[in-house]
Amino acid sequence: MRSVRYGLWLLVGMLLFTGCLERNTLPPKKTEIQSHNPLVKEALKQLGKPYLYGAIGPDYFDCSGFVYAMAKRVGIALPRTALAQSQIAGKKLSRAEIREGDLLFFDTALRGRVNHVGIYLGNDRFIHASSGKAHGVTISSLNGWYRDKFRWGKHLR
């Protein structure tokens, strides 16, 4: 009887302890995001590919190289750098105006100039090549760390 009671307390303790542990959130599986947008479809195929500064694929990407390569695959010509991509023709869009497939521009250093770019997926999420914790192509929320770094979006077509 004593060992059963000990086992139950151990089980309860483990459940309580593991409930407090930080959990890493994995990016959604490619099949969880459905899109008819050709740019988004191409981008989702690259989930998990590693980050490498200056890389434009196919095996490694940096943020602007990722956007540059995905756009090229669907027949859209873009400049190579995030700053140059942010200066393409078109209206600067607020968060309320962005839609799936739009480019999103960020000032991650908060120094007054664009230095990061991604592709909007909808539902406040975007795909990008991150040099941060994910260190690769990943999906992030606009409501987390990137919230105050977002500057504007741009429609591509």
> CATH no. for residue 69?
3.90.1720.10
Per the annotation, the verdict on 63 as an active-site residue is yes
Task: Give catalytic status of residue 128 as yes or no.
Answer: yes
The answer as to whether 5 is a domain residue is no
Domain that holds residue 42: 32-154
Note if the bond before 58 is cis, omega within 30 degrees: yes
Looking at the domain assignment, is residue 4 inside a domain? no
Residue 46 within any structural domain of the chain = yes
Catalytic entry in 20, 116, 135, 155: 116
Catalytic option among 20, 128, 135, 155 = 128
Average pLDDT over residues 98-114: 98
- Give CA 127 to chain center in angstroms: 3
Binned at pLDDT 50, 70 and 90, residue 157 comes out as confident
Domain annotation covers residue 74: yes
- The domain tally of the chain equals 1
* Higher pLDDT pick, 56 / 29: 56
Q: List the end-to-end C-alpha distance of the chain, in Å, as a whole number.
A: 71
The encoded tokens of residue 123 equal 């539902």
Q: Is residue 105 part of a domain?
A: yes
Q: How many CB atoms lie within 10 A of CB 56?
A: 16
Kindly report the average pLDDT of the chain as a whole number: 86
In whole angstroms, what is the distance from residue 4 CA to residue 83 CA? 64
**pLDDT tens digits, 107-156:** 999 999 999 999 999 999 999 999 999 999 999 999 999 999 999 999 99
Question: Of the residues 36, 63, 135, 155, which is catalytic?
Answer: 63
- Listing DSSP states for 4-68 in one string gives HHHHHHHHHHHHHHHHHS--PPPPPPGGG-----HHHHHHHTTTTPBB-TT-BSSS-B-HHHHHH
Read off the pLDDT of each residue in 9-23 and give the average, rounded to a whole number. Answer: 35
